[in-house]
Every structure is written in C-alpha cells, then in structure tokens.
Amino acid sequence: MATIEVQRQVLPILGNPNQGARFYNPELPSSEPFVPGHRTCAGCGPSIQYRMTSKAAGDNTILVGPTGCMYVANSSYLCTPYNVPWAHTQIGSAGSFTAGVAAAYEAMIRKGKWKGQFPNIICEAGDGSASDIGLASISGALYRNHDCLIICYDNEQYANTGIQASSRTPYGGMTTFSPPGPLVPEGKKLYPKDLARMMAAGHPHCYVATASVGYPIDLMNKVRKGLNHKGAAYLMVYTPCQKGFVYETPRSIDLGRLVVESGLYPMWEWNPEQRAYDYSFRPASMRPVSEYLKLQGRFGHLHAEHIANLQKFANEQWRMMGVQLPEALLEAADAKNLVNMAAAEEAATVAETV
C-alpha cells in the first residue's frame, strides 16, 4: 500500500518565559482561535488559559471540549467563541474522543484523503473530567501515544455544576459537596490527587508539565513543547475560579502566581527523552500558604491546625522539587505559630528566595 508521509508542525518557543502577565511580548502570534463573546464569569481562570493556549497553538488546530465550564459557558447556540474547529464530547470521553480525531488525521493524511500539515489536536478537559470520570480515557490516549495535547484546566472542583468537590479539590477547600460543619471543621478532608505526576509516572514517553495562568509565557511555551512533541502530551494548568474560590475578580492572575509562590502548585516539566523531572522553574518569591489562602472565601473556615496541615503539604512539595526551605516556612507548618483564618493576615510572613 502506497502511503503518504505525515508532515507535522513545529512551533517556535517564545523568549522571556518568566515575565509577568502584564508584559508585552511582540513574539506573540496575532491569531485568536478563542475570541470574546462567551458567557464565562468575570475573571474566569479557565477562559484566560483557553485564550493563551489556543493562541500558542495557532489556526491549524482542532479543539475538543469535554463537558465542563469550557463547554457550557463558552458555547451557546449559534455563538461559539472558537475560531478553529471545536467539538463537544462527553465528560468521560476527553482522551478517547481526542484519540479518535488524532487517529482519523493520521489515517486520512496517510491515505491521501486529507492534504496538509497534521493539525494541533488539543483537548481542554476540566479537572473533574481529567482526574475522575475521564481519567481512564486520558490515560488510554497518553499510553497509546496519539499525537495530541491534553490540557487539564484545573480549577480544583466541578464548577459548571455549581461547585462540587473533585479529586483535585485541595484539603480544606469548601465546596457544596465538602462543606465545613461542626463534625468536619476543615470541609474537604482529602488531599488532592497528584494527577500530573500520575500521568508522567504512568506514561513516561509523554511530555508532561504543570503550569499556571500566573505565568502566561511559560504556559504558552509548555503548550508549544507539548504540541511539538511527536506523540501525546499532558499539561495541567492552574486556573482559578472566582465563583468557587470566592475572591475579588481582578485577582485571578495574582492567585495564579501566589499558588506557585506558596508551593501549593509545583511547577515542573517531565522530559520524556531524559526520563527525568525538570524542577528548574523558580517563582520570584516563596510565601507561606496563608498568603494564598486568605484571599479566598473557600478557605475562610480553616483553623490554625488546618492551615498548618496545608503548609506541611506545601513544604513537602518544595522538598520534592529539591528546594531548601526557609525557616519561616518550617515555622508556619506548626499550628502554634498560626491563628485561625479569620485573622490569617496576622500570621503572614514572607520569605524571599534567591
């Protein structure tokens, strides 16, 4: 059988990856695959992410949208914000539908039924889809190594259905399925599933990374690295949800930086060639978790001991990245040095890193 070789795109990596959100970068492409006009909330982290990631991908792109906010709030009939082909799929079908699109293009190009460069195939799955109901389907797509990028826009809850706990909801996070009460003062008792590491450990041939809307250029570069990688890639992006986290809407990007600076969202890349984690990303500063928690209503019920638990969790993350912990963060992991959230600002201490 005569077959046609599949040509793939190579996207350039942008300079100044650690620059702030308010920095103008002339290298950014002008194309807008994700345009205004959708119905997401003011300050919506996932939609900020959506614009950045689709911009990084460009116009030869196909988007897959499993059920979630980025389906329900983005697409209202006859008025979708997608300037590139987009398809809804079921919440549990994130990886499988995407695999179908990728397989179709492999076969159609090879058999001469479609002519052109292999498109970027991106799935935008919420954390409910990625960490719970669609986990197996995503694992399947990564395992089989379809040439696609699966993004988990991680707002740490089922937001579209009205703020319910997912496997990604942090310890202490209040949702309508994990409300605090006299018997459960911390609200959510379980720690979040370490989804990105699961994906890297289980599918070491894939490019896997974590990112945050607080670092847009870094995020876009990780999207391009994932797309340039021949085979499957997985990217987990911190995307705050104003409704679920309960914060002032202009602070989405601030939270995207604070969550990294507090150690609650470790930033790393899994390098599939070297089979190794790259922990070289360093935020400008390190802060106690209370700095991050106090901005959000979902943590407003926490007691000193709960904050200490979260600090211990953050400290473990720093250690995993090989970062030496400043004394202040060790002290912040002891409830004796903390106060209840109602007075959290008093507990804040700041430590600068190199």
As a whole number of Å, the end-to-end CA separation of the chain is 59
The reply to whether 332 sits near another protein by the rule CB under 8 A is no
Question: Of 28, 114, 198, 228, which lies in the binding site for another protein, with binding defined by CB under 8 A?
Answer: 114
Size of the site for another protein (CB under 8 A): 50
The reply to whether 31 sits near another protein by the rule CB under 8 A is no
278 closest CA partner among 348, 185, 175, 209: 209
Question: Of 7, 15, 16, 111, which lies in the binding site for another protein, with binding defined by CB under 8 A?
Answer: 111
The reply to whether 93 sits near another protein by the rule CB under 8 A is yes
Q: What count of residues does the chain have? A: 354
The reply to whether 231 sits near another protein by the rule CB under 8 A is no
Q: Which one, 82 or 207, has the nearer CB to another protein? A: 82
Buried b (16+ CB within 10 A) or exposed e, 225-239: bbbbbebbbbbbbbb
Residue 181, C-beta contacts closer than 8 angstroms, at least 6 positions apart: none
Tokens of 47: 């939609």
Q: Partners of 346 in the beta sheet?
A: none
Tokens of 343: 């007075």
Other CB atoms within 10 A of residue 153 CB: 29
Give, as one character, the DSSP assignment of residue 157: S
Residue range at the interface with another protein (CB under 8 A); choices 112-120, 204-212, 326-334, 345-353 = 112-120
Give me the residue label for tokens 């991050």.
292
CB distance 227 to 120 below 8 Å: yes
CB distance 189 to 179 below 8 Å: no
Residue numbers 125-154 binding another protein by CB under 8 A: 136-137, 139-140, 143-144
Determine the residue type at 313: F
Q: Least distance in Å: CB of 45 to another protein?
A: 20
354 closest CA partner among 259, 297, 280, 250: 280
Give me the residue label for tokens 């970027």.
120
Q: Which one, 82 or 299, has the nearer CB to another protein? A: 82
Q: Which one, 24 or 77, has the nearer CB to another protein? A: 77
Q: Least distance in Å: CB of 140 to another protein?
A: 4
Residue numbers 254-293 binding another protein by CB under 8 A: none
Q: Which one, 96 or 166, has the nearer CB to another protein? A: 96
Q: Which one, 52 or 73, has the nearer CB to another protein? A: 73
Residue range at the interface with another protein (CB under 8 A); choices 77-85, 214-222, 239-247, 312-320 = 77-85
Q: Which one, 93 or 169, has the nearer CB to another protein? A: 93
Question: Of 49, 52, 53, 82, which lies in the binding site for another protein, with binding defined by CB under 8 A?
Answer: 82
Question: Of 21, 28, 41, 87, which lies in the binding site for another protein, with binding defined by CB under 8 A?
Answer: 87
Residue 203, C-beta contacts closer than 8 angstroms, at least 6 positions apart: 139, 142, 143, 232, 234
Residue range at the interface with another protein (CB under 8 A); choices 19-27, 91-99, 189-197, 263-271 = 91-99
284 closest CA partner among 216, 352, 214: 352
Give me the residue label for tokens 């090879």.
110
The reply to whether 7 sits near another protein by the rule CB under 8 A is no
In the complex, the residues that contact another protein under the rule CB under 8 A are: 1, 3, 59-62, 64, 71-72, 75-78, 80, 82-90, 92-93, 95-101, 103-108, 110-111, 113-114, 116, 119, 136-137, 139-140, 143-144
